[in-house]
Structure 1
Amino acid sequence: MNNFHNILFVTLGTDHKAEGLKQAISVARNNNAKLKILILVPEMPDAMPDYRKQLDDLILTHTRNLVETASAALHGPHTPLNITYDIEGGSTAAIRIIQHAIKGKHDLVIKDADVRDGNAGFKALDMSLLRKCPCPVWLCRPIPDSRENMSIAVAIDPESPNASAHALSIRMLKLGRAMADTCNGTLNIISCWDLPYEAALRDSAFLSRPENEIEHHIRARAAEHREALQGLLDEAGQTDRQVVHHLRGIPEDVIPSLIRNHGIDVLIMGTVARGGIAGFIMGNTAENIVQNLTCSLLALKPDNFVSPVKTG
């Protein structure tokens, strides 16, 4: 696949989960990429300085054992990986992760999803990474199937308002195609449309229009959006082994529902401006979608995105 070359996997020193680590190792193998494991630990109290080295050694041994366990659980050839480790103590985890990503020139950050109660959405640390990390962020939930049976989807807006958002949509489609080729082979493409002011056209005493006129506008809007979508797919070279979900409705309603009903394992989407979905700005439509997801999320930003986190 070779879309990623320098991956950063983030874990807490007390983690016993191996799901995200399995996905990180699998992605690194499929991309022939370097993998750095950043272990975040609480800052040691000033009264306990002599315990820092001992504790770090124990945590590093624990993490290496998790890597061995995760590697053994994966199917396929066990290609040797270039894995390095770093342990860091302190607070402000999101800032430290992003600083590591920037300084190390990482092109992908992977961590286990910190999910809310009910298994939908993500907690504060994950949301900070989605908002501020300049490179793609992969938030992992458990995937029951082997990689060969994983289901990949990408959510796009074919009516992006600017060149950077359009380029991001093309990039997501190509990445989705490459990932699907290493999984079950089928790429699910999701795009949403609706007719603005439809309710007003039906129900308003001032705007109410005949039903046949409204249906005409609905068909015209669907055709317009579908034509734009097809043009985007053609530009990205998407021609086969795909299922296009041309959904009528509000993205934050219909996308999480489709994810659940179709058993999607990983959703690729944009997290700034309209790169993934109309109005997809963190804290707005995007937040409503993300907080209802029950699958792993791979979030990308436009190439011109500048993180507010400073490394100095």
Structure 2
Amino acid sequence: MKRFKNILLVAKAQCEHPFELEAALTLAEQNSAEITLLMVLPALSSFHLMKPERPQQDIEKDYVQHHLNELLARAGRYQQRAEIRCKVVIGTEFIQVIRSVLRNHHDLVIKTAEPASWVKRLFGGTDMHLLRKCPCPLWLLKPEVAPTYSTIAATVDFNPDDPQSVEQPLNRQILELASSIAIHNSATLHILHAWQLESAGVVLMWSDNPEQAEAEYNQSLYSSHQSGINRLKLLMAKWIGQPAYDYCKPHFELLRGDASHILAKRVEELEPGLVVMGTVARTGIAGFLIGNTAEAMLEQLNCSVLAVKPAGFVTPVTLDE
């Protein structure tokens, strides 16, 4: 599947051949895509700028140019594989990454995760900002692990009371991306969906046998989720094509329990190299635009993640300086 055409790779200094560059190059070759290497430098301290003989603007210009030369030299070794542009800016990393996406219409951001140092969590502050606010798909790679996968997990969601929700574009994007990567890696693909037992509520008030009524209610709930899964199987075959579906042989799993817990637990059992998942925007809460389930899952994962935003997502970051 040819999807990504304009890839943004978040580059780091002093890194000769990072795995994220190989991932970007492979995608670029598959999709005839362009790559932009973006390095975001922290602002110089007042100590570095205390040189009366040179204007601050000149010092910052040399600072940027030094790292740009390093980036150009790195990119030059791979120009035969893809068209690579280089850019170096000073600022806050997640803001500059998102502004580059907005300004240049990148359709994928690739970055190596930076583990949070104060907790046992793979994704640090910058990564969480990007997961919450980056408007295009974000591929966060586990450090020092090659992006080749034998097992891939994807999570999907829908409302069983609304059969049309199975067809939502976010599910389609997740399944197309996950199947494409699985096929490329000859990987096993597990597609996970969670459902939870609920109280039958008012139904029990009018029942002579409340326990049976509740059991029947939850069986009906399970059946509606299973119907959604069956519908998703047919749609996936249609979306990616029957030959690709037959080759991929995805394993659909309907899990019972709280989504944020049971999905993370199943992912831990599967030990996939990559999880493909959607993040759902909340409206009206600036700076916290990620669904509760996605947020809770991300705090428990220890593998690479490809995160996708729903259609219509608007980042709170703007191009205003």
User: What SS does the aligned partner of 2:197 have?
Assistant: coil
1:188 maps onto 2:190 in alignment: yes
Once the 2 structures are TM-superposed, how far is the Cα of residue 233 of structure 1 from its aligned partner? Answer: 2.5
User: What SS does the aligned partner of 1:306 have?
Assistant: coil
User: What SS does the aligned partner of 2:300 have?
Assistant: coil
Counterpart in the other structure of 2:133 = 132
1:9-158 pair list within 5 angstroms: 9-13=9-13, 18-44=18-44, 45=46, 46-47=49-50, 49=56, 50-63=58-71, 80-90=81-91, 92-117=92-117, 119-142=120-143, 144=145, 147=148, 149-158=149-158
2:72–2:86: 8 Å Cα contact kept in structure 1? no
1:20–1:140: 8 Å Cα contact kept in structure 2? yes
User: What SS does the aligned partner of 2:168 have?
Assistant: helix
Residues 146 and 101 from structure 1, CA distance in 2 versus in 1: closer, same or farther, beyond 3 angstroms? Answer: closer
Counterpart in the other structure of 1:75 = none
Counterpart in the other structure of 2:241 = none
Residues 2 and 283 from structure 1, CA distance in 2 versus in 1: closer, same or farther, beyond 3 angstroms? Answer: closer
Q: Deviations over 1:168-189 (max 9, x none)?
A: 1112111211121111243210
Show structure 1 runs of 5+ residues with no match. Answer: 72-77, 275-279
Residues 40 and 229 from structure 1, CA distance in 2 versus in 1: closer, same or farther, beyond 3 angstroms? Answer: same
1:191–1:245: 8 Å Cα contact kept in structure 2? yes
Once the 2 structures are TM-superposed, how far is the Cα of residue 20 of structure 1 from its aligned partner? Answer: 2.6
What TM-score do the two structures reach when normalised by structure 2? 0.78
Once the 2 structures are TM-superposed, how far is the Cα of residue 7 of structure 1 from its aligned partner? Answer: 0.4
Structure 2 Cα separation of the partners of residues 183 and 98 of structure 1: 29
Q: Deviations over 1:203-224 (max 9, x none)?
A: x9xx996655544333332221
2:166–2:232: 8 Å Cα contact kept in structure 1? no
2:7–2:36: 8 Å Cα contact kept in structure 1? yes
Structure 2 Cα separation of the partners of residues 99 and 146 of structure 1: 26
User: What SS does the aligned partner of 1:177 have?
Assistant: helix
Structure 1 Cα separation of the partners of residues 39 and 190 of structure 2: 34
1:4–1:31: 8 Å Cα contact kept in structure 2? yes
Of structures 1 and 2, the larger Rg is shown by 2
* Root-mean-square deviation over aligned CA pairs: 3.5
1:271–1:299: 8 Å Cα contact kept in structure 2? yes
Residues 281 and 189 from structure 1, CA distance in 2 versus in 1: closer, same or farther, beyond 3 angstroms? Answer: farther
1:189-268 pair list within 5 angstroms: 189-197=191-199, 212-237=212-237, 239-240=245-246, 241-268=249-276
Residues 188 and 164 from structure 1, CA distance in 2 versus in 1: closer, same or farther, beyond 3 angstroms? Answer: closer
Structure 2 Cα separation of the partners of residues 264 and 186 of structure 1: 9
Once the 2 structures are TM-superposed, how far is the Cα of residue 135 of structure 1 from its aligned partner? Answer: 0.7
Q: Which moved more, 1:217-226 or 1:296-305?
A: 217-226
Structure 2 Cα separation of the partners of residues 224 and 301 of structure 1: 26
Q: Which moved more, 1:215-224 or 1:173-182?
A: 215-224
Once the 2 structures are TM-superposed, how far is the Cα of residue 260 of structure 1 from its aligned partner? Answer: 2.0
Q: Which moved more, 1:99-108 or 1:163-172?
A: 163-172
Amino acid at match of 1:129: L
Structure 2 Cα separation of the partners of residues 236 and 94 of structure 1: 33
Structure 2 Cα separation of the partners of residues 145 and 96 of structure 1: 26
What TM-score do the two structures reach when normalised by structure 1? 0.80
Q: Which moved more, 1:281-290 or 1:160-169?
A: 160-169
Structure 1 Cα separation of the partners of residues 69 and 128 of structure 2: 30
Q: Deviations over 1:134-160 (max 9, x none)?
A: 11111110475673x432221001328
Structure 2 Cα separation of the partners of residues 22 and 67 of structure 1: 11
Structure 2 Cα separation of the partners of residues 164 and 210 of structure 1: 31
Once the 2 structures are TM-superposed, how far is the Cα of residue 281 of structure 1 from its aligned partner? Answer: 6.2
Residues 208 and 197 from structure 1, CA distance in 2 versus in 1: closer, same or farther, beyond 3 angstroms? Answer: farther
Structure 1 Cα separation of the partners of residues 73 and 187 of structure 2: 32
**What percent identity do the matched residue pairs reach?**
29
Q: Deviations over 1:92-141 (max 9, x none)?
A: 32211100111011000111112224653422211111111111111110
Once the 2 structures are TM-superposed, how far is the Cα of residue 285 of structure 1 from its aligned partner? Answer: 2.3
Q: Which moved more, 1:177-186 or 1:289-298?
A: 177-186
Correspondent of 1:177 among 156, 176, 179: 179
2:137–2:309: 8 Å Cα contact kept in structure 1? yes
Amino acid at match of 1:100: S
Structure 2 Cα separation of the partners of residues 144 and 124 of structure 1: 20
Once the 2 structures are TM-superposed, how far is the Cα of residue 21 of structure 1 from its aligned partner? Answer: 2.8
